[in-house]
Amino acid sequence: MVIQRICFLCLLLIFSPGGFRATAAIDPDAANVVVVVNTNEPGSRQIADYYVAKRGIPTANIIELSTSTEETISLAEYVETIHNPLLNALLAKEWITGVKQSGKDRFGREQMSVAVHHISYLVMTRGLPLRIQDDPEQMGDAPANLPAQFKHNRAAVDSELCLLAGPPGLPVTGFIPNPLFEKRLPTGPDAARVLRVCRLDGPTVAQVLSLIDRTLEAEEKGLVGRAYFDLGGPHAKGDEWLSAAGDLAKAAYFDCDFETSKRPMGIQDRYDAPAIYMGWYRAHAFGLWRARRWGVPPGAIAFHLHSFSATTVRSESKAWLGPFVAQGYCATFGNVYEPYLELTHRPQMVLEMLLEGRPFGEAVLYSIPVLSWEGVAIGDPLYRPFKVGLEAQLEEDEGPYASYAVLREINRLKAKEGEAAALQYARSQFIRFPSLALAYRLAALYDAAGSPEKGVEALKVVRYISTFSPDEYVLVQKIANFLNRHGESELAFQLYENLLSQKGLGKPLKISLLEGGAKVAQNAGQLSSVSRWSLEASQLKQPPAKK
């Protein structure tokens, strides 16, 4: 079967004009994707060439600009090196048609009196500027009733480009209502003049190329994994959005975890196979989101609600979007400056559209209420994470995340047919996928059915595993606690010993393991470990000595 597939792909490469274009026939929007590159940054063209080859986009759809390689540019630089040359290139290639005004506006922008476009998505590549800095000298077009906090003209480059074909005279100060917001099927002038813009960007060229590959892998097999939602932020509205997103994930039968306290979700929490992560409110990625060897499923979606989550996307440690891409997430969105909560993306609306089978680029524009503002999205706009349904995913019996599709089916069966059907299915699938995640879920089902001893037997598979990956540590801790509660304290103690011997445990996780391990050690009669682990936990919890 593998050899037949390889031969088939080779035939496509030989007989398809312009290279591999198999997906172009599947996705009609690919032919109308326009990709923008910066000729001053070699990696920009490398990404564009790779992307159009993978997606079956005609190479003629690549447009070259010569602009700054810095992430932040002035308003004048934006107009002179991006807005005007891109508008003219799109006109020359007939991506935009209409009546061009003879003069320029006060900011130097060339404009269209009447315009329509047939661009499905405009894709910016790494090396193109990310944001426009504030220019206090250009505030004369601000509406008189605009509140003071909105009287600035800093913005995301991509958000400005959404209105490239818009009507003349649009202000640069403040924001413009997004005509596509909450419009599932926009028609007329809205659809004809607003551009959907996404970005293929990140800390390194290699990471962006990996994003493209992992996106296509997920689209072919379907997104698998668990969903995590970190609530408890500073404003009730944000928690409402994230809770609504969590409800959607649960309705789609994902295994979900919610952190609802004021403390941030961290390395001491379960976080294996994060297919979906949504949380807030930290300025920079920390802990497990900066662990480079963390297991992130292909195509994973990530969102961290913070005013400055995308001040840079080329750092693996600052803000959020860059670290997400570096760790392996494929679709993310955020803000280059302070947007104010009501003017940022609605994460639940993004997830709603994706779960319906819509592409990422469409979901992003559907979810944001304003343009000419601070929003930016990184990812392949054609990406449909739920193009492949759960039924088809269950036929896939390979790969490290195959058992997570089984977990979704268990949740579906439990909701539709009851716990007995879910238990029977879980038991049958555990033979095919003897994973820790499935073992733990099977044990929980047995426990709920009044047969915890059968759950213990399922979990004893853990005794044959000598090493665990960092993303499994908390799951193994939960398994140890289950075993301890149901009379297997000695095995539970051995698991804690194994976990505590691992190098590089973060402080919060180590404290959690030491405190949990001390309780298990007490039940196992390991009194010396009780004293040692309790003392070490107490010492770690002490504030650092003042110098």
Residues 6+ apart with CB under 8 A from 457: none
Mean predicted confidence (pLDDT) in 384-408 = 92
Residues 6+ apart with CB under 8 A from 226: 254, 255, 256, 257, 272, 273, 274, 275, 276, 404, 407, 437
Looking at residue 26, what is its pLDDT? 57
The Cα–Cα gap between 173 and 195 comes to 20
> What's this model's pTM, rounded to 2 decimal places?
0.92
The confidence band for 14, taking pLDDT boundaries of 50, 70 and 90, is: very low
Which range has the worst mean pLDDT, 113-117, 138-142, 279-283, 402-406?
A: 138-142
Let me know the angle formed at the C-alpha of 111 by 109 and 117, rounded to the nearest 5 degrees. 130
Residues 6+ apart with CB under 8 A from 199: 123, 124, 125, 128, 130, 158, 313, 376, 377, 378, 379
The Cα–Cα gap between 352 and 343 comes to 18
- Is pLDDT at 24 greater than 60 in this prediction? no
Looking at residue 145, what is its pLDDT? 82
The Cα–Cα gap between 246 and 389 comes to 19
In degrees rounded to 5, what are phi and psi of residue 277? -130, 130
Average pLDDT along the chain: 92
Mean predicted confidence (pLDDT) in 489-514 = 94
Residues 6+ apart with CB under 8 A from 190: 179, 180, 183
Q: Is 371 helix (H, G, I), strand (E, B) or coil?
A: strand
The confidence band for 320, taking pLDDT boundaries of 50, 70 and 90, is: very high
- For the chain, give the percent of residues with pLDDT over 70: 95
3-state helix, strand, coil in the chain (%, to 5): 50, 15, 40
- For the chain, give the percent of residues with pLDDT over 90: 80
Looking at residue 547, what is its pLDDT? 62
